């Protein structure tokens, strides 16, 4: 019934012969469907509230309302299902009731809100209701509630005119003298169907326009990715707020001049500015914006009251950093083409383009822009009307269904001169706070102002931040300057050895060295190296097992002034060969150095090959490269001195430095290893080295931590989670472990981790962030009480003498809350990549915000500022994932699955990334064997939209780790067919799969197949509900089918209901 189909009646200007039953329009079907899915709410109502001053004739008003309802069929039309499909039924003599009551001024707002909130039953009630509130004899408030199935913005003018004529006539004691409308809404719907023709006929208007939209909207993302204050809820409330703002007459005049100069309209200028703003808020250069076209293409349809307006998508491209003038050229071209193809209903465009659907989110575009006032004007003789009544921006009132809706009304003076733009920004209160909407409005004004000032300026050169915001993100939140004594790294050990020579400095198994012994041996190694001509700018490769000798070799290399290059002896021979060839070390140490005959006194520059300077490299560490070849990061000693001095300042111990024991968990091939060594040194503590077997066996690691009475660990999130789980299972709280640092992965703040910290009141948790190219660049110390922990752990603010910038693709700072790429500047930047000048130049770029000549490192990480200046890690730029057009945060999915009581650990991966066949797969470590993929799917679907629910689940005994303790994604097992899907069983499952297949027109052999993912749409879902009722005799509300769009989900629902 809702498809574009031919009618046998020829084209004509008046009414057509009406079929029985009478079909609904596409817009009516959509609203009926949403009413069935979300339940009856005030979401799709338009409340019109007018204050009436003067002598009101109540009887005349009630009669006038009846006249208007009888004049326009749409106002007395109900929508009822026939064979499961909605149709229109015009009631011949339906009359509205004017509910009248007297209210006190203090109760007016509450009463008006209650009247506007009264909902409609579309099958039994006409879509208009009226309420009249008497405050005084000459002071009334009229509340008209209209359902959107019966009217739109273009209906307001004929409604206001007809109500005025009818009221004035009834006041005179006569019926209104008006001609019969040439076209009713039902006729308009039939004429539209006739004009569009059969979509299967390639020569029809419908087919031609749908072909245009398929091409124009091809590849459009699922959502624009606005920075919400809250995630989109599974069940939207449809609350809507409103922010009113203005553009001054002076700026308006400049924009008018710009429109004349560029051959555009004021609507196009506002649209272009909005596209720039949305691009800056989302990082996208492909920005779809919706607008409403009136749909009244001839004189006869101008007076139609009904849902005539149509939504059109304006796809604005901002790639290439165009000037405003160039962007306006693009916008004009896009708009003219779109408006030339505006006849086909939006719902049919959606079906043709077939984007992924998410409950509560408008498909194809989530931001709407319209122009012109939307209020009804009723100005009968003898009455003065005003709109000075309380705003009904409460939940559900007049919600547009869009995340943001900007309406712009251009005002003009008596002589036609620009008098300012009056703007109304409506926002979904599920997603945005009012303060955020105000900020968005202010940013739009800045873009419009910049456009008016200089249309030849590139869009990337415009800042959307206020002066205060700019000061915060560039200066205040980077106020980290601190004097640090430029001592050389060897001095850290020498000072400690002089202060506490007998304190144990390093222990591995039964071997241990005091600070005096460690310093003496390191001095002898350094003299051995110096004797071979090894010093500053030299490289010593260390390929040694974990032992005290390894720590001696590290310190000896540093004392000689050389840089050490760790080469793990367990690496594949090919990788070892590449590293040794690329680094070209002067010496490779594979075991203890011959120290005999070497003096053990501290070295001075006179003993070294050349004087040791802070800028000389202290190590070079290889990291994975995008080309498949590892690349060496060369780090100067001054960077490590700065980091350790910062650490020393912010993390003093409470129990005496001499008892501090730091686990050297990290592989020497990881940059954290040297920090672990230096942390212990500056604190006068002991570096505790587990052997390699213990380090890789997490059960043994927990036992070792307890036995060794370790105070501090620096581990990735997965290792930390394992320590928590294993210690709980073993019945130990690890009471000596009081300093826990997570780095290298995203920190998951789980209930188990919170309980682990509560068990030891003085235990503290910190989250560190930093790529190898900068080492630890930011940190966040979590509150002592886990009850005060945030939902997600920030990575914090920059450490001393470091700066962080969050920038967009045009290297402009982004506002707080908006995702951008993280750039790091300051004294801890590495020199660059060994033998890779091109890559170094690409990643280490000029810092436009720092001192002349300074550099910043482009991390490739996506972060956002919190309002308090803390940074939150969001993922990798080169790993930005989209599934069915939607941006996906794998961490969010993992957090939901981790919340299942029987899940110990979980990792979610994307298979076939960046292709239409992208799938999400969850690898789960279960607490019991009873946990099934079906239970996990259901658990995930309770909190996540359908496109974020993994399609495959694989149960594993443990998640594989790299040598550095991070998740080894390459080592995860392949997904099996059993975990990927399941064929239906005989009976109800097979029946439901058959229904899905018949409606979709494709085979459905997997009970977990998602109806929408296979190309299903709302009309098809109506058929599913109807056919299941016919075959199984079960009534399934549309809401249930929508919320359980898989055969397995529906069968489970039927089983629960008996």
SS (H, E, C) 232-281: CCCCCCCEEEEEEEEECHHHHHHHHHHHHHHCCCHHHHHHHHHHHHHHHH
Q: With DSSP H G I counted as helix, E B as strand and the rest as coil, what are the percentages for the chain, rounded to 5?
A: 35, 20, 40
Q: Where are the beta strands (DSSP E) in 689-847?
A: 712-715, 739-742, 764-769, 778-781, 797-798, 802-807, 820-826, 832-833, 844-846
Which residues of the chain fall below pLDDT 50?
1-12, 389-399, 653-658, 977-979
Give the gyration radius of the chain's Cα atoms.
35
**CATH assignment, 988-1056:** 1.10.1200.10
* Alpha-carbon gap, residue 2 to 1019, rounded angstroms: 8
634 three-class SS:
strand
**Domain 240-296+305-374+395-464 class in CATH:** alpha beta
898 three-class SS:
helix
Q: In Å, how far are 41, 540, 606, 619, 779 from 633, measured between CA atoms?
A: 60, 15, 29, 8, 21
- Domain ranges within the chain, ordered by starting residue: 22-192, 240-296+305-374+395-464, 880-980, 988-1056
**CATH assignment, 22-192:** 3.30.559.10
700 three-class SS:
helix
Residue 460 near residue 321, CB atoms below 8 Å? yes
pLDDT at 977: 45
Find tokens 């989209």 and name the residue. 882
**Same CATH fold assignment for domains 22-192 and 988-1056:** no
Buried/exposed 124-144: b ≥16 CB within 10 Å, e otherwise: eebbbbbbbbbbeeeebbbbb
CA 395 remoteness from chain centre: 23
Residue 706 near residue 733, CB atoms below 8 Å? no
pLDDT at 767: 97
* Alpha-carbon gap, residue 144 to 376, rounded angstroms: 10
364: left (phi over 0), alpha (psi -120 to 50) or beta: left
Q: In Å, how far are 409, 448, 1053 from 330, measured between CA atoms?
A: 23, 17, 50
Q: Please state at what angle helix 637-650 crosses helix 489-499, rounded to 10 degrees.
A: 50
* Alpha-carbon gap, residue 681 to 522, rounded angstroms: 14
Q: In Å, how far are 343, 634, 844, 1002 from 582, measured between CA atoms?
A: 65, 13, 21, 55
Q: Where are the beta strands (DSSP E) in 502-616?
A: 504-508, 511-514, 539-542, 563-566, 587-589
CA 766 remoteness from chain centre: 25
Fold of 880-980: GMP Synthetase; Chain A, domain 3 (3.30.300)
Query: What pTM was estimated for this model as a whole?
Result: 0.85
Find tokens 């649209």 and name the residue. 271
* Alpha-carbon gap, residue 18 to 87, rounded angstroms: 12
598-646, pLDDT tens digit by residue?
Answer: 888 899 999 999 999 999 999 999 987 655 678 999 999 999 999 999 9
pLDDT at 875: 84
User: Comparing C-alpha atoms, which of 566, 555, 563 is closest to residue 496?
Assistant: 555
pLDDT at 611: 96
pLDDT at 628: 62
pLDDT at 658: 42
Buried/exposed 105-120: b ≥16 CB within 10 Å, e otherwise: eeebeebbbebbbebb
Residue 99 near residue 115, CB atoms below 8 Å? yes
pLDDT at 909: 85
pLDDT at 422: 94
């Amino acid at each position: 019934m809702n498809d574009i189909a031919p009618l046998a009646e020829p084209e004509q200007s008046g009414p057509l012969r009406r079929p029985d039953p009478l079909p609904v329009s596409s817009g009516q079907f959509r609203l009926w469907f949403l009413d069935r899915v979300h339940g009856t709410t005030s979401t799709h109502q338009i409340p019109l509230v007018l204050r009436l001053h003067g002598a009101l004739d109540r009887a005349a008003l009630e009669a006038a309302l009846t006249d208007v309802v009888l004049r326009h069929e749409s106002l007395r039309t109900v929508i009822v299902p026939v064979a499961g499909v909605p149709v229109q039924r015009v009631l011949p003599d339906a009359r509205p009731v004017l509910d009248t009551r007297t209210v006190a001024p203090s109760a007016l707002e509450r009463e008006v809100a209650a009247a506007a909130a009264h909902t409609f039953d579309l099958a039994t009630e006409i879509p208009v209701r009226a309420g009249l509130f008497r405050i005084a004899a000459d002071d009334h408030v009229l509340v008209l509630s209209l359902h959107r199935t019966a009217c739109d913005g273009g209906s307001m003018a004929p409604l206001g005119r007809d109500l005025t004529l009818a009221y004035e006539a009834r006041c005179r004691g006569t019926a209104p003298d008006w001609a019969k409308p040439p076209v009713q809404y039902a006729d308009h719907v039939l004429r539209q169907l006739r004009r569009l023709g059969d979509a299967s006929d390639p020569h029809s208007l419908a087919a031609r326009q749908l072909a245009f939209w398929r091409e124009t909207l091809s590849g459009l993302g699922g959502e624009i990715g606005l920075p919400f204050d809250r995630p989109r809820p599974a069940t939207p409330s449809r609350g809507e707020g409103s922010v009113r703002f203005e553009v001054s007459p002076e700026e308006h005049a400049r924009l008018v001049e710009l429109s004349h100069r560029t051959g555009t309209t004021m609507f196009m200028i506002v649209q272009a500015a909005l596209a720039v703003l949305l691009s800056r808020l989302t990082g996208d250069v492909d920005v779809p914006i919706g607008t409403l076209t009136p749909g009244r293409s001839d004189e006869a349809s101008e007076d139609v009251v009904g849902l005539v307006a149509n939504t059109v998508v304006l796809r604005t491209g901002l790639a290439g950093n165009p000037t405003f003038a160039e962007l306006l050229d693009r916008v004009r071209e896009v708009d003219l083409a779109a408006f030339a193809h505006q006849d086909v209903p939006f719902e049919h465009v959606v079906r043709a383009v077939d984007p992924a659907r998410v409950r509560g989110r408008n498909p194809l575009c989530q931001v709407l822009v319209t122009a012109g006032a939307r209020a009804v004007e009723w100005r009968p003789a003898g009455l003065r009307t005003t709109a000075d009544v309380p705003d009904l921006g409460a939940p559900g009132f007049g919600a547009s269904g869009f995340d943001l809706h900007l309406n712009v009304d251009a005002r003009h003076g008596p002589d036609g001169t620009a008098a300012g733009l009056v703007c109304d920004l409506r926002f979904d209160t599920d997603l945005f706070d009012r303060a955020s909407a105000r900020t968005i409005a202010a940013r739009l004004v800045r873009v419009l102002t910049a456009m008016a000032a200089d249309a030849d300026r590139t869009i990337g050169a415009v800042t959307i931040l206020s002066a205060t915001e700019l000061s915060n993100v560039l200066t205040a939140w980077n106020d980290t300057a601190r004097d640090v004594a430029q001592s050389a790294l060897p001095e850290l050990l020498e000072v400690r050895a002089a202060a506490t020579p007998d304190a144990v400095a390093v222990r591995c198994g039964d071997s241990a060295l005091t600070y005096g012994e460690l310093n003496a041996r390191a001095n002898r190694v350094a003299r051995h190296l110096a004797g071979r001509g090894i010093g500053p700018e030299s490289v010593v490769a260390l390929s040694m097992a974990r032992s005290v000798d390894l720590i001696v070799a590290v310190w000896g290399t540093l004392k000689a002034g050389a840089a050490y290059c760790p080469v793990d002896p367990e690496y594949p021979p090919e990788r070892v060969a590449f590293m040794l060839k690329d680094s070209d070390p002067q010496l490779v140490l594979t075991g203890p150095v011959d120290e005999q005959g070497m003096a053990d006194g501290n070295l001075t520059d006179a003993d070294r090959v050349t004087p040791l300077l802070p800028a000389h490299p202290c190590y070079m560490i290889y990291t994975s490269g995008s080309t498949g070849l590892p690349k060496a990061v060369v780090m100067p000693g001054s960077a490590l001195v700065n980091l350790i001095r910062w650490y020393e300042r912010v993390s003093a111990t409470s129990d005496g430095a001499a008892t501090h024991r730091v686990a050297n968990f990290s592989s020497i091939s990881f940059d954290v290893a040297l920090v672990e060594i230096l942390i212990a040194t500056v604190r006068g503590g002991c570096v505790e080295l587990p052997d390699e077997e213990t380090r890789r066996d997490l059960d043994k690691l927990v036992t070792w931590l307890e036995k060794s009475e370790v105070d501090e660990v620096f581990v990735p999130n997965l290792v930390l989670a394992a320590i928590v789980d294993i210690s709980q299972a073993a019945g130990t709280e690890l009471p000596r472990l009081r300093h826990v640092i997570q780095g290298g992965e995203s920190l998951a703040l789980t209930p188990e981790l919170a309980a682990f910290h509560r068990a030891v009141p003085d235990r503290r948790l910190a989250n560190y962030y930093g790529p190898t190219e900068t080492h630890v660049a930011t940190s966040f110390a979590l509150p002592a009480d886990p009850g005060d922990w945030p939902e997600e752990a920030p990575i914090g603010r920059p450490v001393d003498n470091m700066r962080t910038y969050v920038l967009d693709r045009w290297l402009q700072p982004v506002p707080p809350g908006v995702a951008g790429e993280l750039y790091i500047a300051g004294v801890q930047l590495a020199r660059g990549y060994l033998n890779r000048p091109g890559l170094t130049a690409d990643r280490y770029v000029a810092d436009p915000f720092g001192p002349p000549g300074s550099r910043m490192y482009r991390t490739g990480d996506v972060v956002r500022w919190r309002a308090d200046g803390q940074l939150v890690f969001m993922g990798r730029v080169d790993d930005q994932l989209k599934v069915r057009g939607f941006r996906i945060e794998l961490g969010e999915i993992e957090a939901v699955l981790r919340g299942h009581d029987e899940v110990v650990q979980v990792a979610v991966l994307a298979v076939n990334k960046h292709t239409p066949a992208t799938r999400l797969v969850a690898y789960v470590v279960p607490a019991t064997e009873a946990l099934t993929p079906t239970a996990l799917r259901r658990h995930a679907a309770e909190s996540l939209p359908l496109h974020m629910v993994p399609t495959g689940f694989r149960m594993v005994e443990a998640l594989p780790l790299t040598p550095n303790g991070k998740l080894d994604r390459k080592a995860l097992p392949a997904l099996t067919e059993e975990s990927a899907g399941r064929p239906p069983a005989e009976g109800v499952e097979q029946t439901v799969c058959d229904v899905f297949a018949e409606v979709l027109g494709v085979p459905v052999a997997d009970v977990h197949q998602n109806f929408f993912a296979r190309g299903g749409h709302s009309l098809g879902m109506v058929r599913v509900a109807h056919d299941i009722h016919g075959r199984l005799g079960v009534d399934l509300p549309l809401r249930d089918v929508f919320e359980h769009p898989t055969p397995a989900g529906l069968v489970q629902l039927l089983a629960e209901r008996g």
